[in-house]
Structure 1
Amino acid sequence: MTQVPKEHYRFESYTDFDRWASYYFQIREILALQPASMLEVGTGDGFLGRFVKSATGIAYHSLDIASDLEPEIVGSVEAIPLRDGAVDVVVAFEVLEHLPFEGFVPALREMRRVTRSHVFISLPHFGPRPKVALKVPGMRELRLAAKLPFPRAHTFHGQHYWEIGKRGYSVGRIRSVLRGMFAIEKDFLPFETQYHHFFLLRK
């Protein structure tokens, strides 16, 4: 898996509005599962881990190949050094695209092995994303959004080996891979951050 230098996660350049929105959906779905324990694969800037440890009773564990990010476990998602069913939920947000696509299934298998219940992931979804919001006083806000197909060939620039929506990586293909190992309980692109495609998967 490609390592990203620690400096990449500086607040000024990394944590934009879309990422804050992504954190909201990450936390919302994790809390709804009411897990006693969880493993985060790929710690990023550490925000999720700090929140879980300070504001919930969930036993939080982390895994990353980058030792300078100070994860609890230094290792690869393709060979997680934990026993079968070690935690209630395994999460990986904007992580698995850092593996060549042939590593996607082995990584999912490892996450499935380690969880007792659920795997929750997000993946980048490329493509134009027009959206409109209309708020009239006294009425519920109207929101309309669409993800337009734009199957450009993917070019590797040192981080992402592939993205949903790029040529050869349709969302249908990704769903088919996921259904081969899990039941897809939720599958959504938040209005606020339509680059992050979330999948809540049940073992």
Structure 2
Amino acid sequence: MAISLHYKVHAVCIPSPFQSHIKAMLQSAKLLHHKGFHITCVNTEFNHRCFLKSRGHHSLDGLPNFRFEAIPDGRDGLPASSYESSTTQDMYSLCENIINDVLLQPFLDLLAKLSDSSNNVNPAVSCIISDDFMAFTITAAQRLGLPSALFFTISACSFKGLKQFQTLKEKGLFPLKDESCLKKEYLDSVMDWIPGMAA
């Protein structure tokens, strides 16, 4: 069903700042855009630069009702040295900052900018679609009275694996007991009890 031309739903889509999550969210955002949504995709500035570097400086220009925004460097809680790398950021620290809601205030600031009525470029933000791992977006949506949806961007195989945490604990495989569990022999252990997943 297409959206009325008189009112465009403005969905802000924010994936976890990791490549496969960004790719999955971008595919979903494209489908919503095709159905008439105004889309704003949000990345960290680091990932935004990586995207431009891989696709070309003007690759994100000229898309009607589909735009990209970034949470600026330094507002994601990482030290300045982490922005100098051309490959990847400190995943552990980034995950910790996501869990500890470090990105909440920068995200709220961005939502305020996007909904600024003096800026007649975009319709006001209507809803937030976020990666399931970005729990701070729920808090942002509640504070602003916006509907939100969580999008689980991992593969079916990963999801089935996550559902096995209880079994891993029962079998004594999780949590890891000591550093000996980090050896190749242990890490190559076959887990053949997960229904629908071939060993």
TM-score by length of structure 2 reads 0.37
**Highest CA radius of gyration, 1 or 2?**
2
Structure with more of its chain in helix, by fraction:
2
Structure with more of its chain in strand, by fraction:
1
